[in-house]
Structure 1
Amino acid sequence: MTDTPAPRPVLLVTGGGRGIGAAVVLLAAARGYDLGFTYRGDAARAAATAAAAEAAGAGVLAMRADAGDAAAREACFAALDARFGRLDALVNNAGITGPTGRLDETADAVWEEVLRVNVLGTVGCTRAAVRRMSTRHGGRGGAIVNVSSRASEIGGGGEWVHYAASKGAVDTLTIGLSRELATEGIRVNAVNPGLIDTELHAAAGLPGRVARLSAGVPMQRGGSAEEVAEAVLWLLSDAASYVTGALLPVGGGR
């Protein structure tokens, strides 16, 4: 009689179509996860990410959704339930920078949009995941990793104070929830990437930003999305079983 193999754990990655999110999706697929991921805009890139994850052996559900839209979040979690019937881990990666600019040049609408996606989106997805994973709700436990930013400490002055402030909120949420959920089987941590060479900079109108700022990084280079993904997957893994409430810098010393 052959033993039935254990089911693959299920991970949800928000903003998983490209950049750091896609790197997390692909590494997780290679390490034995089935995956749901959301994307906001580029359907072709999301399809390519899904196909690569499937080629690595994962079951994959790609869902177009704005993380800051409550109805869209609910629909995604319902689709995830229907496809996999379980949730073991969440990576809150979806986020936006908003346009660059000083505080005195930035309208309330910019702050509202950045906080809606980066903070309320993270809160809403986490709430839905906790209701599925927490032992208090009959779940098996799990792990949550929030993708924050070194900007939460550096401050983003002159460029993205609004973005940095949103990531400061994510850091505080991470610490608070790690304590709130510690007895319910859920670990909550964050990675705080520094200067990472992704499309984020060009999308914000600063295509040369990584090269321009690399000299200020002690390691003298920007990082890669894959390097951030390695940190995320470690925090999700049993190798980090006694780690919760951590804000892990992935910034080359910056």
Structure 2
Amino acid sequence: MAEGTVPGVGTIIVTGASRGIGAAVAHAAARAGHAVVVNYSEDSAGAKTVAEDIIGLGGRALTVQADVSRPADVVRLFDEAAGLGQVTAVINNAAITGNLIGPLVGVPGETIQRVVDVNVSGMIYMCQEAVRRLSTDNGGSGGSIINISSTATKAGSPGTWVHYAATKGAVDVLTVGLAAEVAKQGIRVNAVAPGSTNTGLHAAAGMPDRVERLNPTIPMGRGAEPEEVAAAVLWLMSAEAGYITGAVLPVSGGR
């Protein structure tokens, strides 16, 4: 657990923040002046590095181990986050593919269950607790929830990650429904849907060159960098997007 000393403009929780898009969001939020709770499930070393980077630049960061698929862990995550100050935003980034690529028929049942547990149930648990803490109906001061979806929902990722794409479809529905439900409680709920992004997700699944292979299908001719996705998250979280809720913003180079 690591903590800095310089106050920020708000405290945000970023799940799955030890690497990739989550780490980029954590860094961007810290540069914008926010105190950042760097959540991780297993990669303690990665989370520690992210937090130390933020603290080294004069920001505030706290690492918290929690498996978002476990409701008790989610409650503890919010409880520990309160140590940095009042939570003003929650970025639900934690997601897994099951570390495999191939047709749906070959995905083991236990892998499907784990992917659904983290990507869908985990995000729902996080949203529930965020509403409990942020809602003006409950004495909170309002805030922002941003869910990380995927443009995989458009085509369904046939032959690679149909199971993963299906969970991201659920994320989009969760975002739209919850946004309408809590709009009068001071909470905005939006999603960012990255396209092919240069992270370790593809290598972990056994296809490190997947983004490069997809480049010819992307109008802009390249995959996104995690920092470009983070910029969209920070904008949706900002006052500039204050009248936006229920949106799913693609960051996909036109694909």
Please state which band the TM-score falls in when normalised by the shorter chain: over 0.9
- Say whether the 8 Å CA contact 2:97–2:115 is kept in structure 1: yes
- Say whether the 8 Å CA contact 1:41–1:64 is kept in structure 2: yes
- Say whether the 8 Å CA contact 1:91–1:145 is kept in structure 2: yes
- Say whether the 8 Å CA contact 2:8–2:59 is kept in structure 1: no
The equivalent residue for 2:36 is 35
1-side partners of 2:195 and 2:80: how far apart? Answer: 33
1:159-179 per-position Cα deviation (integer Å, ceiling 9, x unaligned)? 100000000000000000110
2-side partners of 1:243 and 1:23: how far apart? Answer: 23
| Percentage identity across paired residues of the two chains | 48
- Say whether the 8 Å CA contact 2:8–2:33 is kept in structure 1: no
The equivalent residue for 1:3 is none
Matched, 1:215 2:212: no
2-side partners of 1:70 and 1:206: how far apart? Answer: 32
2-side partners of 1:63 and 1:216: how far apart? Answer: 38
The equivalent residue for 2:24 is 23
Deviates more, 1:51-60 or 1:228-237: 51-60
Offset at 1:57? 2.8
Deviates more, 1:230-239 or 1:85-94: 85-94
Offset at 1:76? 1.3
2-side partners of 1:179 and 1:197: how far apart? Answer: 33
* Residue identity matched to 1:245: G
* Residue identity matched to 1:39: Y
- Say whether the 8 Å CA contact 1:133–1:140 is kept in structure 2: yes
Alignment of 1:1-254 (within 5 A): 8-81=9-82, 83-98=83-98, 99-254=100-255
- Say whether the 8 Å CA contact 2:10–2:85 is kept in structure 1: no
2-side partners of 1:104 and 1:90: how far apart? Answer: 35
Offset at 1:8? 2.4
- Say whether the 8 Å CA contact 1:34–1:60 is kept in structure 2: yes
Offset at 1:85? 4.2
1-side partners of 2:184 and 2:212: how far apart? Answer: 44
Unmatched 5+ stretches in structure 2: 1-6
TM-score by length of 2: 0.94
Unmatched 5+ stretches in structure 1: 1-5
1:138-165 per-position Cα deviation (integer Å, ceiling 9, x unaligned)? 1100001100000112201111000000
TM-score by length of 1: 0.95
- Say whether the 8 Å CA contact 1:30–1:57 is kept in structure 2: no
Offset at 1:7? 6.2
Query: What RMSD over aligned residues (CA atoms) do the two structures have, in Å?
Result: 1.4
1:115-135 per-position Cα deviation (integer Å, ceiling 9, x unaligned)? 100011111111111111011
Q: Secondary structure at the match of 1:181?
A: helix
2-side partners of 1:7 and 1:16: how far apart? Answer: 18
- Say whether the 8 Å CA contact 2:215–2:223 is kept in structure 1: yes
Runs (4+) off by over 3 Å: none
Using a 3 Å threshold, how does the CA distance of structure 1 residues 58 and 159 change in structure 2: closer, same or farther? same
